[in-house]
Structure 1
């Protein structure tokens, strides 16, 4: 068995047990089926047609997965994004709840000596996947991130919980024009995500995903110190829906955006990876060693790793609503088992939501005003 599927009323999720990726998320709402997650075009192609040196997590790239560490695994031997994104998981429990279904999975390998568990919960009538990852034992420290990906055939618009800073690292993802193209400036910083410095000296609005803008870029957004509920909303134009990613910023203080829109010309990308946006909530810098040492995020007062040894857990929520093309929220709040959205046009929208799941309310850990 490679794909494990379970569901509750109005929602189902499939997990690729070979690599632990969310292979599919389907939400039934208002007579529609919403499928907000991306699956790479080569993920179902024969392995022999792909480059031999590809990490298994890239071969089967889909949906969302746990990175531990995020990016380079340079503290213990592992592929890109660690064994949690590239190796097998086993089902340890799958049980009905009074109001839904819960399934648990365990990574067959250990990370820095720690046992890693994934707990996924679906609730009847809720348009959300509730995710928790738990590290037990181990030694040292680990950087972590989710790697949720959506796709837009004709672009879309983005909105976020308040951010105090957006920044790129030292090196562009694709600096060689013979292999691809990056459009953002590296390194760069700004407090205005609608005017991020571009490589050509201009500016790019990070809230506007344009299909004609071919690029491969990576930028990190730092949550405002005042934030209690962290969120990203993507209004997908052609898909006519709203994709939502929610977190507790005290656990995952950064949101990294991977903008992958035809910006890589080599295999397996071959210019066909279009309209993809990674929304990667994490506690990390780029690379395991960098996350544990000096890095630009730490200099901004942002925690970039969890200490291992005792139980470490963090949570994230993925979901979608059929709100119509380019309808974006300005504010989100969670209370009384409801998610409340205040839309840009002043309307209020509600959806059933486990308001206690993200454990919102604690001050941001490891974040102080710069």
Structure 2
């Protein structure tokens, strides 16, 4: 392997031992971004909207880098921004699922996959591009994954690629995990989705959390989801009450060059959009973390939105199966083969808006 010149992230080495260590920084005319070895996570990210404004768009957990986080699983220790989940989802079995659902043991205990919990190796790094890789354990169906994070030299945008090499043929739930920053002022971030085939609520209460949605229901629009106290609008964040929600948007797409998913930061007159291959990853799981988890490290203080393109049954693809008639029963993951690596590309970009009313 080529040994590149690496750009250290100031302060990264102050984390607790094993929490991430040395990282890399992208710097270009339209922004800056940091990448850490732990989980290969991207964040924070600041994109320059014009000569006077920058938008910090990727989430960084409030406990990241603290001494108390040293005992957390790798994926949570320095939780931030964006990373790939191969395989996607939880490794524990939910305590309660609706009638007709079946459970099974996960192949391993790594939440969101081995790579989300381990340190990645840098193949090459420059001010505009970071190329990372990680080898999987010998007993895993996955042999290796790589990702490239590249700044668009002409725009406030990042282009990211993911490649997966399989050790043997396998059906694997796969997802991306961009997690965006939500400022604390209620309702000042507006979420927009492209055309889709319905929004499905999680079939169980998220562990250790408060949920205000009726489980295992389908709703036509994000502005009127089926809630325990009536319709719940998730289009304006953060919400005024604590809650933790997981919903899956089926067959989401963009039209006319518009992103399938966008956030409008009303107090910044700015938007962030995400584009991906919706044939490869047809759905989007939304993780609305709105102070609804009370246990450490969440402590009712965690605000973020995860917008996660995936081919999976929520985050349950490793441990559960929906009934045959369920609208998401066909979300079985990617068919991976050892003779053909799987590749995908996606883009995250920001742009300024004309000032709008509420």
Scaled to the shorter chain, the TM-score interval is 0.7 to 0.9
Q: State the match for 1:208 in structure 2.
A: 236
Q: Does 2:70 correspond to 1:41?
A: no
Counterpart check, 1:107 vs 2:134: yes
Q: Give the whole-Å Cα distance in 2 for the aligned partners of 1:226 and 1:75.
A: 34
Report the Cα distance in structure 2 between the residues aligned to 1:78 and 1:314, rounded to whole angstroms: 26
CA–CA distance in structure 2, aligned partners of residues 226 and 42 of structure 1: 35
Task: Identify the range of structure 1 (205-214 vs 287-296) with the bigger mean alpha-carbon deviation.
Answer: 287-296
Distance 1:311 1:108, change over 3 A: closer
Corresponding residue SS for 2:333 = coil
User: 1:103: Cα distance to partner?
Assistant: 2.2
Deviations 1:54-84 (A, max 9, x none): 3111111100111111112454324210112
Partner residue, 2:181: 151
**Which stretches in structure 1 are left out of the alignment for 5+ residues?**
329-370
Match of 2:201 among 165, 168, 174: 168
**Normalization by structure 1: what TM-score?**
0.77
Question: 196, 213, 217: which one pairs with 2:225?
Answer: 196
In structure 2, what is the equivalent of residue 253 of structure 1?
Answer: 282
* Deviation by residue 1:160-204 (Cα, 9 ceiling, x = unmatched): 110111102320115xxxx5411111011122222110022x001
Counterpart mapping for 1:318-357 below 5 A: 318-323=348-353
Contact 1:306–1:312 (Cα < 8 Å) also in 2: no
User: Which residue is equivalent to 1:307?
Assistant: 336
Instruction: State the shift of 1:130 in Å.
Output: 0.6
C-alpha displacement at 1:51, in angstroms?
Answer: 7.8
Write the deviation string for residues 129-174 of structure 1: whole angstroms up to 9, x where unpaired.
1111101232212211111111222232111110111102320115
Q: Distance in 2 between matches of 1:225 and 1:231?
A: 5
CA contact (8 A) 2:201 2:246 kept: yes
Q: 2 CA distance for matches of 1:224 and 1:61?
A: 26
- In the other structure, the counterpart of 1:223 is 251
Residues 67, 292 of structure 1: CA spacing in aligned structure 2 closer, same or farther, 3 A cutoff?
farther
Question: Is 1:89 the equivalent of 2:115?
Answer: no
Correspondence list, 1:279-298, <5 A: 279-285=307-313, 286-290=315-319, 296-298=326-328
Distance 1:294 1:305 in 2: 19
Tell me, yes or no, if the aligned pair for 1:297 and 1:303 is still in contact at 8 Å: no
> Cα gap change, 1:260/1:5 in structure 2, threshold over 3 Å: closer, same or farther?
same
Structure 1 CA distance for aligned equivalents of residues 308 and 211 of structure 2? 19
CA distance in 2, matches of 1:313, 1:78: 25
Q: Counterparts of 1:93 and 1:25 in 2: how far apart (Å)?
A: 20
Question: Is the contact made by 2:56 and 2:181 (CA closer than 8 Å) also made in structure 1?
Answer: no
The answer (yes or no) to whether the contact 1:90–1:106 under 8 Å persists in 2 is: yes
Q: Do 1:3 and 1:17's aligned partners in 2 also have CA atoms closer than 8 Å?
A: yes
CA contact (8 A) 2:61 2:302 kept: yes
Q: How does 1:22-37 map to 2 (within 5 A)?
A: 22-31=42-51, 32-37=53-58
Sort the Cα spacing of 1:102 and 1:50 in 2 relative to 1 into closer, same or farther, 3 A.
closer
The runs of 4+ residues in structure 1 deviating greater than 6 Å are 225-229, 291-295, 325-328
Counterpart in 1 of 2:83? 65
Q: Give the stretch that moved more between structures: 149-158 or 69-78.
A: 69-78
Which of 156, 176, 196 does residue 127 from structure 1 map onto? 156
Quick one: distance in 1 between partners of 2:56 and 2:79? 16
Gaps of 5+ in 2: 1-20, 92-104
Alpha-carbon distance in structure 2 between the residues aligned to 1:138 and 1:87 = 19
Paired residues of 1:242 and 1:327 also in contact (CA < 8 A):
no
Q: Paired residue for 2:262?
A: 233
- Confirm or deny: 8 A CA contact 2:253 2:260 kept in the other structure: no
The normalised TM-score by structure 2 is 0.80
Change (3 A) 1:303 1:297: farther
CA–CA distance in structure 1, aligned partners of residues 192 and 199 of structure 2: 14
Aligned residues: 314
Which residue of 1 is the match for residue 98 of structure 2? Answer: none
Larger mean CA deviation between 225-234 and 17-26 belongs to: 225-234
* More strand, by proportion: 1
Within a 5 Å distance, the mapping from 1:170-185 to structure 2 comes to 170-174=203-207, 180-185=209-214
